[in-house]
């Protein structure tokens, strides 16, 4: 029940295309859903996050879509660029739990 399932494991997108990464969860107590971007040899960097009171949040080229009834959320990267090539992790947390539960990651490659 504590798991966050992430797909796909890897994704290849052409420059200018849309990258979509999906996550699903079981624990209905989760109320915070961040996405992290990680480059090789670096720590995860917070990209964008959402709470269940909204269905979508957009920051620049990055958008989170959230479906509370389906217990799913996704990251959309518009106009994907080669510099977006990295591993992306979804995560979830519940109020007062203090620990982030991470998905298994998606390796994104954007080709020019």
Partner 1 sequence: DAGVTQSPTHLIKTRGQQVTLRCSPKSGHDTVSWYQQALGQGPQFIFQYYEEEERQRGNFPDRFSGHQFPNYSSELNVNALLLGDSALYLCASSLMASGTDTQYFGPGTRLTVL
What are the residues binding partner 1 (CB under 8 A)?
A: 6, 32, 34, 36, 41-46, 49, 89, 91, 93, 95, 97-105
Nearer to partner 1, 34 or 62 (CB): 34
Query: Measured from the CB of residue 77, what is the shortest distance to partner 1 in angstroms?
Result: 19
- What DSSP assignment string belongs to 24-89? EE--TTEEEEEEEEE-TTS--EEEEEE-TT-SEEEETTEEEEEETTTTEEEEEESS--GGG-EEEE
Query: Measured from the CB of residue 92, what is the shortest distance to partner 1 in angstroms?
Result: 10
């Amino acid at each position: 029940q504590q798991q966050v399932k992430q797909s796909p494991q890897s994704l290849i997108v052409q420059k200018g295309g849309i990258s979509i990464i999906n996550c699903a969860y079981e624990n209905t107590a989760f109320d915070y859903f961040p996405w992290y971007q990680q480059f090789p040899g670096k720590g995860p960097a917070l990209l964008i996050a959402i709470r269940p009171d909204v269905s979508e949040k957009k920051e620049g080229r990055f958008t989170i879509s959230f479906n509370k009834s389906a217990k799913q959320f996704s990251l959309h990267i518009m106009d994907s660029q080669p510099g977006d090539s990295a591993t992306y992790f979804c995560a979830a947390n519940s109020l007062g739990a203090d620990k982030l539960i991470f998905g298994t990651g998606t390796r994104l490659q954007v080709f020019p």
